[in-house]
Amino acid sequence: MKQRLVGFFDERMDLSALRRWAKEKSVPQHKHSFWYYFGGLALFLITLQIITGILLALYYSPNPAYAHESVKYVMETVKYGWLIRSIHFWGANFLVAVVFIHMFSTYFMKAYRKPREVMWILGVLILGLVLAFTFTGYLLPWTTLSYFATKVGVNTPSIMPILGRFITRIMEGGRDVGAATLTRMFTLHTVILPLLAVLLITLHVLLSQVFGSSVPLSQANKREAIKFFPNFLMRDAAVWAGGLAILLAMVTMFPAGLGPKVNPVMPAPVGIKPEWYFLFVFETLRRFPETIAIGTITLAVLVWLIVPFLDRRASRNQKSTFFTLFGAAVLVYMISMTILAYLTT
Amino acid sequence: MLLVIISLILVGTSANDSLAASIPSFAQRFNFTLPLIVVLLILMFFLLLKVYTRESQPSRSQKGISDSNVKGDGSKEKVREKV
């Protein structure tokens, strides 16, 4: 059966190139190979988010009068609705964590160095998209917390000169967060961002096939490699199975909650905090003057984006201690600000 | 394998279950997801075992077999010549 199926496609499309690719593709093996699995895991989680997202969209109504009720209906009435929404909720959290780990491991292994500069830029943009997904999806349940957190979020860019107010107005779709904002967030979350994500992820994955996995400079003399097909793919699949098992365990223990429906006339509750992945930005904005905080974060993101072009030593396959320290400083800052935000009431 | 299941049971006993009246209770959720988790963990170990078995076999070069006409499963492949 398998032979006949392969023969069917081979006769029509000539799969010899694909067969050659599968036979020749290998993945380097060294003491840091562990980090290679996070890219595949991120791709797996994105697929899971797409599937659960489509299922949720079948019931969701992007209208302030029905949004909260439609999510409540999914959670309480739709068969296994609680499971699908909880997987989507926890999947988003896992995805952000996995993409962050993938990015920092790529950074510290200097995998952004020539010829993978474009891959790095695409990767950073994909992280931005993932965060945009979480931000736009946050308002959709139309709860008190999601409403007021989004209000803070959409107003943050207005501090920026020139384009700030324009960005805020575009996101709000009016003078305040309301029906237009909900429709815009829903459109962004389900149409615009997925289209962009498919484009960027496809390019990122294609480039990773062209260049293969990068070997860290410290392991450059190691020549060991394993075949991608089937050995590495089976290892990858084992990681996905383990990841999904942990995700299901979290879903069982802590299913996604649904707060009370928002009443926009009421004052914002005290002590609202964003999700864990935005806490370092939140704390930075709270501790420093807004203009300085926004300016510094924007500059840091730009530097992060073009780091392969700044780190000339890595491009020449030389150690670049300065950029390792820079990455470590960014990581320490993000973690410490997140902890501070958690501890501060 | 056991770690995930044990933590599930331990945390589950202290889980706050006051989400919504109609959401299945922890016991119901646990009964539904536990078989899935067990299947996934068995699949994970099966895959790892298969990889380990494949990788622990001596490679073709170690056996002294050339790569040119041997298929992935070790059988000889007909070498086609271009006319």
ipTM: 0.85
| % of chain B residues with pLDDT over 90 | 33
What was the pLDDT predicted at A21?
87
Looking at the predicted structure, is the pLDDT value of residue A300 above 60? yes
- Looking at the structure of chain A, the number of domains it has is 1
- Show residues of chain B in contact with A258, CB under 8 Å: 19-20
Pairwise pLDDT comparison (A324 vs A157), residue with the higher score? A324
DSSP A257: P
* CATH code of the domain covering residue A152: 1.20.810.10
Residue A306 lies inside a defined structural domain of this protein: no
What does pLDDT average to over chain A? 94
A212 sits in the region (left: phi over 0; alpha: psi -120 to 50; else beta) called left
- Record: contact B47-A249, CB cut-off 8 A: no
pLDDT tens, A95-145? 999 999 999 999 999 999 999 999 999 999 999 999 999 999 999 999 999
Nearest to B20 among A76, A234, A244 (CB): A76
Looking at the predicted structure, is the pLDDT value of residue A248 above 80? yes
Average pLDDT over residues A44-55: 97
Nearest CA in chain B to A249: B8
Lowest mean pLDDT among A8-17, A67-76, A209-218, A244-253: A8-17
Neighbours of A220 (CB within 10 A): 11
Pairwise pLDDT comparison (B60 vs A220), residue with the higher score? A220
Best residue of B13, B33, B82 to probe chain A, by most A CBs closer than 10 Å: B33
> What band does A195 get if pLDDT is binned at 50, 70 and 90?
very high
- The contact set of B with A (CB < 8 A) is 4, 7-8, 11-12, 15, 19-24, 26, 29-30, 32-34, 36-37, 40-41, 43-45, 47-48, 50-51, 54-55, 72
| % of chain A residues with pLDDT over 70 | 100
Residue A246 lies inside a defined structural domain of this protein: yes
Q: How far apart are CA A288 and CA A109, in angstroms?
A: 32
Chain centre distance of CA A217: 27
- Record: contact A238-B44, CB cut-off 8 A: yes
Q: How far apart are CA A301 and CA A48, in angstroms?
A: 28
Q: How far apart are CA A168 and CA A155, in angstroms?
A: 6
- Residues contacting A11, CB < 8 A, separation 6+: none
Residue A122 lies inside a defined structural domain of this protein: yes
Average pLDDT over residues A17-33: 90
What was the pLDDT predicted at B2?
58
- Show residues of chain B in contact with A248, CB under 8 Å: 33, 36-37, 40
The string of DSSP letters for A65-105 reads TTHHHHHHHHHHTSTTHHHHHHHHHHHHHHHHHHHHHHHHH
Average pLDDT over residues B58-81: 48
Looking at the predicted structure, is the pLDDT value of residue A239 above 80? yes
Looking at the predicted structure, is the pLDDT value of residue B25 above 80? yes
Domain layout of chain B by residue ranges? 23-56
Which residue range(s) make up the domain with A182? Answer: 32-217+226-272
Structure tokens at A264: 């926009």
Residue A141 lies inside a defined structural domain of this protein: yes
What was the pLDDT predicted at B74?
43
> What band does A158 get if pLDDT is binned at 50, 70 and 90?
confident
CB B11 within 8 A of CB B26: no
Pairwise pLDDT comparison (B18 vs A326), residue with the higher score? A326
Report the SS3 class of residue A176: coil
Report the SS3 class of residue A28: strand
Nearest CA in chain A to B37: A245
> What band does B3 get if pLDDT is binned at 50, 70 and 90?
low
Helix axes A164-172, A144-155, angle to 10 degrees: 150
CB A35 within 8 A of CB A109: yes
Q: Which residue has the tokens 């067969």?
A: A19
The C-alpha of A252 sits at a distance from chain B's nearest C-alpha, in angstroms, of: 6
- Show residues of chain A in contact with B33, CB under 8 Å: 83, 248-249, 251-252
What was the pLDDT predicted at A241?
97
Residue A62 lies inside a defined structural domain of this protein: yes
Looking at the predicted structure, is the pLDDT value of residue B75 above 90? no
Helix axes A81-108, B26-56, angle to 10 degrees: 40
Nearest to A249 among B19, B37, B47 (CB): B37
Looking at the predicted structure, is the pLDDT value of residue B70 above 70? no
Residue A278 lies inside a defined structural domain of this protein: no
Q: How far apart are CA A116 and CA A111, in angstroms?
A: 7
What was the pLDDT predicted at B4?
61
- Show residues of chain A in contact with B11, CB under 8 Å: 253
Average pLDDT over residues A41-69: 97
